[in-house]
Structure 1
Amino acid sequence: MILLTGATGTVGSLVARRLASSVPLRLLTRDPSRAAGLTGPRVEVVAGDLADRDGLLRALTGVRAALLVTADPLTHAHDENFLTAARAAEVRHVVKLTTLSVTESDATDLVTRWQRENERLLLDSGLSWTLLRPRAFMSNTLGWARSVREEGVVRALNGTTAVAAVDPGDIAEVAVRALTAPENHAGRAYALTGPAAVSPVEQTAILAKLLERQLAFVELTEDQALSGLLARYPAPVAHALLESARRGRDGTKGHVDPTVAALLGRPARTYQDWAQDHLTAFRT
């Protein structure tokens, strides 16, 4: 049995779809109704919360490997609770999704520090582990979909700064390998990037070509970007994300790592590949 946290999220849902027909699968979610599209004869959906250690123990009973995705940078309790329950349930292997910025000494924002500590908790837990450290998700550009559809405009910060963003589908495929063959991936930390660094201006041009329409790029000021972040996240998290974006201007996030291609036996997917698959989100 494999258990997935974050089963209705960006990466977790893709892992679920890849595993649903091949192994017994348990999906842990606070709202089981959101997992309606992920059901199958070998899939069990259970309601649970990472704040509930007893509930986690029940969910992890009988599980041999688990994907751990946490999403609240204001607490380490979720990782602590999960790992405590995983040890008690005798889970053999944990695959943890963090971020590539944990490897960068100049990355000191709240979110990166939170993920560094989460990694430490796992490494100190005594459990077998694999760390997945992706760069920014290509799917983050879905945040542009409404303005593209309604105005033909992309608004973003750092328009000319290239980032080696990764297709979440590639992350999911690496996760599947680590979950189903942990003996081949135990004790490994994988840097996961796309095959090239691409800037928001270049992503806008790719979308325009695929959509066969003109799109304008508008550079946001830091104040405008922060205002948008504050509408979605608690203030400490919003400021951390802005700090991370500011740091990326030095080109650090443009480094391409070959790990995805090495693990999957094929090139990492490009932004154009990802955009082609998600073009309906941007169409009028």
Structure 2
Amino acid sequence: MILVTGATGTVGREVVRRLPEGLRVRLMTRDPSKVMARGETTEVVAADFDAPRLLERALQGVSTALVVTNRVGGDDDLRLIRAAGAVGVRRLVKLSAAAVLDPDADDLITRWQRTTEELLCASGLEWTLLRPRAFMSNTLSWAASIRSERVVRALHGTSANACVDPRDIGEVAARVLTEEGHAGKAYTLTGPEPITPAEQTEQLARAIGVPLRFEELTLEQARAGLAERYPTPMVEARLESAQRQRAGAKSAVDGTVRSLTGRPALTFRRWAHDHRDAFTA
């Protein structure tokens, strides 16, 4: 049996859509009502990393699990690793981040991802690491200003990122979860080309059929906007990450999506076209 944690999240739901029909799958989520319907071989469990007994119950009888955690600085990964070891899970597939490979990346989020990777690799369990670049779906944060003002506001508009479609992450994860030969491997996942926020704005404009303008944020404007959503340490971590992108640290393209799926990684143009309804009133 395969367990998918974060089954209703950005990556989790894409994984669920791509797992073969008839496969025994258990979906772990805080809110089972959000899980999309599947066949009789799929079960849904309500569990949380803060509840050890529920976590062990969710892992009981599981051979391979997808690990998706997002509480930066927390010990969710450690709790899951311990519970998995206690009930005999064979392999964990962890969603990490490509930034862990950058020796110049020392922000809070990247340090946390490195620590959780190290915990898994030292656990004695089989492991596989998935290290995606930024999600193309992060541009959904622009939807409100696009709908109301026809404008995108972002920091460092000419800095490129080889961002990846979550659907590609989902397909790679589904293959890694269901195939042998991936234990002990780490896969970097990117899109097919680096793209800047200004170029994304142009492609979104074509997708929705209306002109959009791009407005460059100052550092202080970006800091103030982030502070409305995140605590100060997270704000500074994101700004540090943006500076590394500006320096070109996130523009390299990796061919892993093609090598594992047999097709090219999906473009941002394709993502924008397929999600254009999210940017229109």
Q: TM-score, normalised by structure 2?
A: 0.97
Would the aligned equivalents of 1:97 and 1:132 in 2 still touch at CA under 8 Å? yes
Quote the residue 1:104 is aligned against. 102
Would the aligned equivalents of 2:226 and 2:235 in 1 still touch at CA under 8 Å? yes
Pairwise CA distance, 1:6: 1.0
1:61-210 correspondence runs (5 A): 61-75=60-74, 77-181=75-179, 183-210=180-207
Pairwise CA distance, 1:235: 2.1
Would the aligned equivalents of 2:208 and 2:273 in 1 still touch at CA under 8 Å? no
Deviating more after overlay: 242-251 vs 96-105 = 242-251
Question: Which residue identity does 1:238 align to in structure 2?
Answer: V
Quote the residue 2:226 is aligned against. 229
Per-residue CA distance 1:209-233 (angstroms, 9 max, x = gap): 1222110101111122122222222
Would the aligned equivalents of 1:39 and 1:45 in 2 still touch at CA under 8 Å? no
What is the distance in 1 between the residues matched to 2:71 and 2:233? Answer: 11
Distance change in 2, residues 1:20/1:263 (3 Å): closer
Q: Which residues of structure 1 form unaligned runs of 5+?
A: none
Would the aligned equivalents of 2:168 and 2:265 in 1 still touch at CA under 8 Å? yes
Distance change in 2, residues 1:162/1:262 (3 Å): same
Pairwise CA distance, 1:34: 2.1
Quote the residue 2:34 is aligned against. 34
Quote the residue 1:11 is aligned against. 11
1:51 aligned onto 2:80: no
What is the distance in 2 between the residues matched to 1:22 and 1:174? Answer: 19
1:259 aligned onto 2:261: no
What is the distance in 2 between the residues matched to 1:273 and 1:8? Answer: 23
Q: TM-score, normalised by structure 1?
A: 0.96
Quote the residue 2:239 is aligned against. 242
Question: Which residue identity does 1:60 align to in structure 2?
Answer: L
Question: Which residue identity does 1:24 align to in structure 2?
Answer: R
Question: Which residue identity does 2:275 align to in structure 1?
Answer: H
What is the distance in 2 between the residues matched to 1:56 and 1:268? Answer: 34
What is the distance in 1 between the residues matched to 2:31 and 2:239? Answer: 30
How many equivalent pairs are there? Answer: 281
Deviating more after overlay: 97-106 vs 46-55 = 46-55
What is the distance in 2 between the residues matched to 1:21 and 1:237? Answer: 39
Distance change in 2, residues 1:189/1:98 (3 Å): same
What is the distance in 2 between the residues matched to 1:210 and 1:49? Answer: 38
Would the aligned equivalents of 1:92 and 1:128 in 2 still touch at CA under 8 Å? yes
Pairwise CA distance, 1:25: 1.1
Coordinate RMSD, CA, aligned: 1.1
Partner of 2:140: helix, strand, or coil? helix
Per-residue CA distance 1:49-71 (angstroms, 9 max, x = gap): 11222211111000011000100
Pairwise CA distance, 1:17: 1.6
Would the aligned equivalents of 1:20 and 1:43 in 2 still touch at CA under 8 Å? no
Would the aligned equivalents of 1:6 and 1:12 in 2 still touch at CA under 8 Å? yes
Pairwise CA distance, 1:248: 1.3
Partner of 1:28: helix, strand, or coil? strand
Pairwise CA distance, 1:20: 6.5
| Percent sequence identity over aligned pairs | 56
